[in-house]
Amino acid sequence: MTRWCPELAPGVHLRHDRVRGTDLLLLPERVVVLEGSAGDVLRLCDGRHDVPAIVAELSRRYPDAPVSAEVPEFLGRTRDEGWLR
């Protein structure tokens, strides 16, 4: 099985909205307002980090959060939505 190194799908852009103080995912004809640390997760989706590396980095940043359970699930959902490849 090949390892998955997620990256934003073509046409999908991650931006920080200074007015709202939150991250946005810009999609063709749609904007998704990200909550919590979703922007931090997606910033690591650069095509170089595989899922275990993303989980390890976020576990280091957020030691008390349930990263190992939530991040792979979040990445799978975003891939199903077509936001990641």
Per residue of the chain (85 residues), what is the pLDDT tens digit?
Answer: 569 999 999 999 999 999 999 999 999 999 999 999 999 999 999 999 999 999 999 999 999 999 999 999 999 999 999 999 9
The dihedral through the CA atoms of 82, 33, 5, 55 has a sign that is negative
Q: What is the pLDDT of residue 71?
A: 97
Phi-psi region of 49 (alpha: psi -120 to 50; beta: other; left: phi over 0): beta
Find out whether 25 and 83 touch, Cβ atoms under 8 Å: yes
Q: What pLDDT score was predicted for residue 2?
A: 66
